Structure 1
């Protein structure tokens, strides 16, 4: 695959160079598999494979872009002509430039050959194992809405006129379960998912058991009194808030004045117990890769250190605007689009406390297991008001399940209210967090 991608990429780059433009060729070959089972039988099985090329060119500070999935000689000529011709319609921008090379890339283990060597029947069995584990966990599990296995393999090549030449392959796999528990006329849902870069790290039994546990612990949930109470966020909930924070440290959002963190470098934006990093080299991380979508080496970027904002995330364009260097965060999900700033493995660094230690001195509080409506949170003002579910904390222990409440506040105030960080760092896709203890949060209920 590397040889084919390199041949195609070099052919297109040479054509573009002959027309006197700076050019970048991005080639991506991707294969995806999705399996869902129901009562042990395969409900759906989908395989998809795609390969395409995106061409970015810069002429007189003007940007042009075109893409194709047709690799015939004529189509390759057309994509070059299209990209170059578009330059005449775009406005000059002094910050448009491609990264220079050659680069030295970190050596990362991001490809597990076992995933592709595993048979289809064995992958189906992984989905079945997750489903069986859910059913066998407790008699109150009445329905398994979805149980499945997924994997993806991708090959990426980037060549540009300034010496960048980068190729790597990666893959990952995962299982998931959505379950329903019923008892005495009440029904509640629970889910679990796990995505790993190594097949041996995947544990479908644990996924199934967690989905069942999450459904059962929510049975007979009720509302709770309104007020300000101490809270603990489960890792999954904390990662939902990380999605909001990721937008706030995006240099493009900063430059467009669409982030609460604009102008706050060097200032305290959270509790001293909080440290936030983006690490494209994190071992086993789903977002780990030797380079970003522009061929810039991946790196570890400290964003918040002990509550102080110390950096933003940059791609090449936003770095040029701020007269700095890219942090290796030029990201794109497809050959059909241009790169933009995006996170890799975006995580809050763990502390040393267990969950029991986090809550053992809370006389009354709220343990948050789920939030709904995070898309309504405003990364510019930092304001949020979202639905929540979880369990009450009484005398340092989890007690009554809670549903139908809201939590509200401002993200800066929330970060400042974090008084302790758990040791239970867990990733959900490219975001990871431990449990967080919040001194006080506004709870809206009865």
Structure 2
């Protein structure tokens, strides 16, 4: 059965919907899985799905399907769901001027085949297996996604994006001592550096061997991009979610328009970032993408909204309505949370500074208070200008105190999921 979006919207109205929206996703991907030094399997996938959201008497309903022949039944389900729903939604998205977003599609990536990716994957494996380091697992993929959002208010937007990624995990041994590491890259373009990924994972696993103990106490700590992203994802990002603020589950409500960090800190959420991993012309509700200043000169300025929370507060959506998939309703999430770089990262590595590359257990942080206590997988102390491994340390603090205590911000920017950040030097509690 051929799927017709316009006729589907008409059918929604015939079933009793006052407003209706279709979120249509078509994804193609090529995936390569690595086990130890070998390619375990290669798999290609293609997925088509549609999410149907309706409003009936001010109440939303939702259903989804991957089968076009089920559309009529799913429309009925969505309308019935709205009739039973106690939640409200005034209106779906309305047309707006969409920005031009560069660097999110590559014809090269869209046309990638197994034979095109294989040489890079082999190079990554070879680079990871050097000296005392061995690869344990890894993967690589190339994907293309076509997204269409259309509703009865006149929104009708189409977007095509690509994504490549590669990662590898390593283990290094020295006598009875072992240590692990991993490295990865994501890009919208065909520019993954497979050799660097493997070499870096190998280098860091070896460098973490024979870690020594250090002392407990409050110390200056450099959080590398991977570690910082983990903490932000479990603390600051939920705190700036308007839904959490409206439910009284975020300290940000009391801190809005106050100085929460040094003036050097600037954090924006940019759905238009060139080459951004979550950049697109609109969010997943059809709201035009924009650049939002969340923290400006250390002052907390704005929270992130989707249509539902913005209507509740009586403001415009910030373009942060993001769906985990076609089969889910829009949540609130950053598009590309960007921390502006400042100085050379090497300047952050002063004597006795603790440097943390990755953390364990960030998901256990208290999202309401911002408190966290995490283990470290790769941590070092600066001695005579060199990074010496340390072991068995916990890092704890509060995200708002972490921001307030920022000493310096580096320039080693990395794109990691929905975060784009360099290293940050601050003060945290270290326990052994």
Q: Scaled by the length of structure 2, what TM-score is found?
A: 0.95
1:6-405 correspondence to structure 2 within 5 Å: 8-18=4-14, 19-38=16-35, 41-72=38-69, 75-91=70-86, 93=88, 95-101=89-95, 103-135=97-129, 138-141=130-133, 143-199=134-190, 201-243=191-233, 244-351=235-342, 353-359=343-349, 362-388=350-376, 389-395=378-384, 397-405=385-393
122-131 vs 104-113, greater mean Cα deviation:
104-113
SS in 2 for 1:418: coil
CA deviation after TM superposition for structure 1 residue 170, in Å:
0.6
C-alpha contact 1:35 1:45 (8 A) present in aligned 2: yes
SS in 1 for 2:402: helix
CA deviation after TM superposition for structure 1 residue 281, in Å:
0.9
How far apart in 1 are the matches of 2:272 and 2:428?
34
Distance 1:387 1:12, change over 3 A: same
SS in 1 for 2:334: coil
Gaps of 5+ in 1: none
39-48 vs 126-135, greater mean Cα deviation:
39-48
CA deviation after TM superposition for structure 1 residue 349, in Å:
1.1
Identify which of 384, 403, 419 aligns with 2:407.
419
C-alpha contact 2:96 2:288 (8 A) present in aligned 1: no
CA deviation after TM superposition for structure 1 residue 102, in Å:
5.0
How far apart in 2 are the matches of 1:117 and 1:47?
13
Query: What is the number of residues matched between the two proteins?
Result: 429
Q: Scaled by the length of structure 1, what TM-score is found?
A: 0.92
How far apart in 2 are the matches of 1:92 and 1:256?
14
CA deviation after TM superposition for structure 1 residue 40, in Å:
5.9
CA deviation after TM superposition for structure 1 residue 41, in Å:
4.1
Gaps of 5+ in 2: none
SS in 1 for 2:164: strand
SS in 2 for 1:130: helix
C-alpha contact 2:5 2:150 (8 A) present in aligned 1: yes
Deviations 1:184-209 (A, max 9, x none): 3311111100000000x211011111
CA deviation after TM superposition for structure 1 residue 38, in Å:
4.7
Deviations 1:61-117 (A, max 9, x none): 111111111112xx2211211111222211262x43212125434343311110132
How far apart in 1 are the matches of 2:351 and 2:101?
49
How far apart in 1 are the matches of 2:211 and 2:404?
30
C-alpha contact 1:32 1:47 (8 A) present in aligned 2: yes
CA deviation after TM superposition for structure 1 residue 223, in Å:
2.4
